[in-house]
C-alpha cells in the first residue's frame, strides 16, 4: 500500500533511499527488505534530521514499517519526548575528545575480542577503463585530510577511552599485478587476496581505519578491495565515490560486488 500522509511519504522515501529500492509500501518490514544494523542507523539519523526529533535506534526495531514508524514519530512529538536536535558546532581540539556512542560500542567489542574482523564490511569495486592510480591515491589522501574520522585512533587516558586525531596521515595505495596470470587464476587469486584482507582486524589504538589496495587484472581492468568497519563505512564510501568520480574515473566504469 502506498503512503497516505506526508509523514508516511517522507519515511517511505528515507527507507527506499537507504535500502536502494524504487519504493517501499507502508506495511513492508524494513528488516524483511534487507535492512540490518548498519543501515538502521542511517534511517534513524535521517529521520532525526527530517523530523527534528531525537528518536532512539530501538524505535526502528520496534516499529519496522512505514505505518508503525509514522505512529511512533507522532507519539514522540505529542509526548514531547523527542527533543529538538541542537546545531552541529565544532568541538574544541584543545581538550580530550570523547568517543561517540558508535565508537564506544566498537571500542567495547574490541576490548572483549581485540582485532576481531567481524565488523569489517568487505566489498570489491571492479574498475573497467583507464585508471590513473596516482590520481586515485591523491583523491583518497584528500579524503583522509578532509575527514578527521579517517585519521582517528582510540587511546585510554585516566581509564577513559578518547579519540586521538592525527594532524596528518599519508594514505598508501599499493598495486598487486595479477595480469600475468590466466583469467581463471586471476579471479581466484583476487578472491583469495580480498578474503585475506577482510580477515585482518584493526588495531584501534594505532591502525588507520582506511586501507587501500589495487589489484591489476589488465591494462584497463582493476579491482579495488575495501573493508572499513561498518561504523565508518557509510561516510567512507559516500565521500570516496564523489572524489573518485571527480578526480579519477573519466571513462572508467565501476561495478561493485560484495566480497562475501
The mean pLDDT value for 228-255 works out to 44
Copy the grid coordinates of residue 204: 584501534
Which pLDDT value is given to residue 249?
A: 46
Q: For strand 214-218 and strand 175-177, is the pairing parallel, antiparallel, or unpaired?
A: parallel
CA distances from 186 to 18, 133, 158, 192, 212 (A): 33, 19, 50, 10, 19
Q: Which residue has the higher pLDDT, 2 or 84?
A: 2
SS in 3 state form for 145-169?
A: HHCHHHHEEEEEECCEEEEEECCCC
CA distances from 221 to 124, 195, 224 (A): 13, 20, 10
Whether 84 and 48 have beta carbons less than 8 Å apart is answered as no
Range scoring the smallest mean pLDDT among 32-36, 171-175, 233-237 = 233-237
**Residue with cell string 590466466:** 182
Q: State the Cα–Cα distance between residues 199 and 193, nearest whole angstrom.
A: 10
Which pLDDT value is given to residue 260?
A: 41
Max CA distance (Å), the chain: 66
Q: In what order do the strands lie in the sheet with 214-218?
A: 175-177, 214-218, 221-226, 123-128, 253-258
CA distances from 15 to 141, 166, 174 (A): 32, 35, 37
Q: What domains are there in the chain, each with its CATH number?
A: 6-79 (1.10.1200.10), 97-258 (3.30.559.10)
**Does the model's pTM come out above 0.85?**
no
Q: Which of 256, 164, 246 is nearest to 207 (CA)?
A: 164
Which pLDDT value is given to residue 55?
A: 83
Burial of 92 from C-beta contacts in 10 A (0-12 / 13-18 / 19+)? exposed
Which pLDDT value is given to residue 86?
A: 65
CA distances from 161 to 71, 93, 112, 147, 155 (A): 38, 16, 14, 20, 5
Amino acid at each position: 500500500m502506498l503512503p497516505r500522509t506526508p509523514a508516511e511519504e517522507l519515511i517511505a522515501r528515507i527507507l527506499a533511499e537507504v535500502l536502494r529500492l524504487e519504493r517501499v509500501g507502508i506495511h513492508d518490514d524494513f528488516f524483511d527488505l534487507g535492512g540490518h544494523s548498519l543501515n538502521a542507523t542511517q534511517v534513524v539519523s535521517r529521520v532525526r534530521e527530517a523530523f527534528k526529533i531525537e528518536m532512539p535506534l530501538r524505535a526502528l526495531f520496534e516499529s519496522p514499517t512505514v505505518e508503525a514508524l509514522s505512529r511512533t514519530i507522532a507519539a514522540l512529538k505529542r509526548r514531547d519526548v523527542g527533543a529538538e536536535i541542537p546545531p552541529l558546532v565544532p568541538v574544541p581540539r584543545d581538550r580530550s575528545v570523547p568517543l561517540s556512542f558508535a565508537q564506544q560500542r566498537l571500542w567495547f567489542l574490541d576490548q572483549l575480542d581485540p582485532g576481531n574482523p567481524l565488523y569489517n564490511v568487505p566489498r570489491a569495486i571492479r574498475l573497467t577503463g583507464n585508471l590513473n592510480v596516482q590520481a586515485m591515491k591523491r583523491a583518497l589522501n584528500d579524503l583522509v585530510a578532509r575527514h578527521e574520522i579517517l585519521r582517528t585512533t582510540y587511546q585510554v587516558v585516566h581509564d577513559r577511552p578518547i579519540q586521538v586525531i592525527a594532524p596528518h596521515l599519508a594514505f598508501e595505495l599499493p598495486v598487486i599485478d595479477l595480469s600475468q596470470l590466466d583469467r581463471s587464476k586471476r579471479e581466484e587469486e583476487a578472491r583469495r587476496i580480498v578474503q585475506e584482507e577482510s580477515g585482518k582486524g584493526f588495531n584501534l589504538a594505532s591502525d588507520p581505519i582506511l586501507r587501500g589496495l589495487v589489484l591489476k587484472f589488465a591494462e584497463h581492468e582493476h579491482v579495488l578491495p575495501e573493508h572499513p568497519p561498518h561504523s565508518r563505512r557509510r561516510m567512507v564510501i559516500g565521500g570516496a565515490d564523489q572524489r573518485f568520480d571527480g578526480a579519477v574515473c573519466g571513462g572508467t566504469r565501476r561495478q561493485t560486488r560484495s566480497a562475501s
